[in-house]
Each structure stands twice: as structure tokens, then as C-alpha cells.
Amino acid sequence: MRRNKAMGGLVGLLFLCSVGYSQSKWELQKKEDGIEVYTRQVKDNPLKEIRVVCELPGTANNLVNLLKDVEHHSNWVYLNKKTQLLKRKSENSLIYYTEADMPWPLTDRDMVVEANFTPATKNNQARVEVKSIKDYIPQKKDLVRIPSSLAVWEITALPKGNIKIDYTFKVNPGGSVPAWLVNATVATGPTKTFQNLRKVLAQRAKDQKNI
């Protein structure tokens, strides 16, 4: 149980930070509450790439605005310790710092990322790319800095006030992490994160109706 939580925490942190590397085919690892988590092997990387597909309540811009609200990411990202905005480059480009409280025996991780948002267009589709940045701020002695990560959110509007999410990410977590253990428990963090995300979006939609 401790190992599952540890690996889930790592994936939870990386959740906020891949583009489609054409390698092996996607394999379904877990399906729960309508949340599908897939993995596939990536060339020259022992850790598998992850893909999450699901439907959530709300609009594309609802989700984009929630992702921009970085100071509150810890409300829904699994085992996220804190997230801090470092620079607002523009309305649709942010640089922020995020940190995960990893259970023993793993060392806590952190990273700095740049997030670029493409708000919903006339076809009701939105896109978000989040990429780690090296050496933006000094590394902390008690944390392992994630050296590289890249994630993509593809968000499409559906009938009846729902959206479809197609999320992928690929990462090098840095430090010493057993690849077999991460790959064996990789679906935990994304599943819990998207379950939390669904609750937050549903509550925001409810609050908007009551205004």
C-alpha cells in the first residue's frame, strides 16, 4: 500500500506537467468511474508514457480556467504539496513551481514548468501544453528536481454540458526511482486526480448556476 501511494504521488506531481511519441500501441491499464488510463513503452525511456481519456462536467474554458488557477492545484492533484505561480508571461502563458510530498522512502520531487493555453475556439476545442524548464530557479537541497517532462491536454466540448479530455504525458522523474515499480502502479495517481477534478468541475458548474 505504501509503495502504491508513493508511486501514485510521483505520477500525481507529474500529472500537471506528452506529446504522442509514435512507439508501441496504447494498452488499457485501468478503467474506473469512466476514467481510462493507458500506457505504452517509449523508446530510450524505461518509464511508460501515460494517456488518460474521460468525460467531465463543464465547458472547455471551465477546465482551462481551473488549470490556470495554479495556487489551488493541491485541491485536486493527488498528493500535490504546493504549487506557486512564478511568472505570468501573458493571459495564456504561465510559469509555475510545483512540489509533491512523497511518502517514505522516496525523496520529495519538484519542478518548474511553463504552461501555454489555447482557449476554446469556435469548434469548442481547447489545448494546453505544460513543459518543464531547467535551471529557472535554484534546486533545493532536500528535493529531487524533475529534469524533463511534457504534457498535453486536448479538450473537446460534448453535448449536455460535458467535455472530453485526452491527456498524455511523458517524464524523466530524476533521482533513483525503480522503473518497474512506477510502471506497475502508474494508473493510481491519474485515476485519483481525475476523480478529484470531476468533483471540482461539478461544484464550479453548480455554483455558476446559482449565481
**What mean pLDDT comes out for the span 97-110?**
81
pLDDT tens profile 129-174? 999 998 899 999 989 998 888 999 999 999 888 999 999 988 877 7
| 151, 121 contact by CB (below 8 A) | no
SS3 29: strand
Task: Please give the residue that has the higher pLDDT: either 9 or 104.
Answer: 104
Please write the tens of the pLDDT for every residue from 109-134. 899 999 999 987 777 789 999 999 98
b/e 165-203 (16+ beta carbons within 10 angstroms → b): bebbbbbebbeebeeeebbebbbbbbbbbbbbbbebbee
Q: What is the DSSP letter of 28?
A: E
CB neighbour list of residue 201: distance below 8 Å, 6 or more residues apart: 56, 57, 58, 62, 63, 66
Question: Which 8-state DSSP code applies to residue 182?
Answer: H
The mean per-residue pLDDT over the stretch 47-69 comes to 92
Q: Is the pLDDT at 23 greater than 90, yes or no?
A: no
C-alpha cell at 81: 504539496
pTM for this entry: 0.84
Residue 189's pLDDT is 85
Is the model's pLDDT at 175 over the cut of 90?
A: no
Dist CA 193 CA 80 (whole Å): 10
Question: What's the rounded Cα separation, in Å, for the pair 50 and 36?
Answer: 10
**Which amino acid would we find at residue 29?**
Q
What's the rounded Cα separation, in Å, for the pair 15 and 4?
Answer: 16
Residue 79 corresponds to which cell in the numbers above? 498528493
The closest of 56, 34, 75, 81 to 153, measured between CA atoms, is 56
Q: Which amino acid is at 94?
A: L
Domains, in order of start, for the chain: 2-210 (3.30.530.20)
pLDDT band at 7 (very low <50, low <70, confident <90, very high): very low
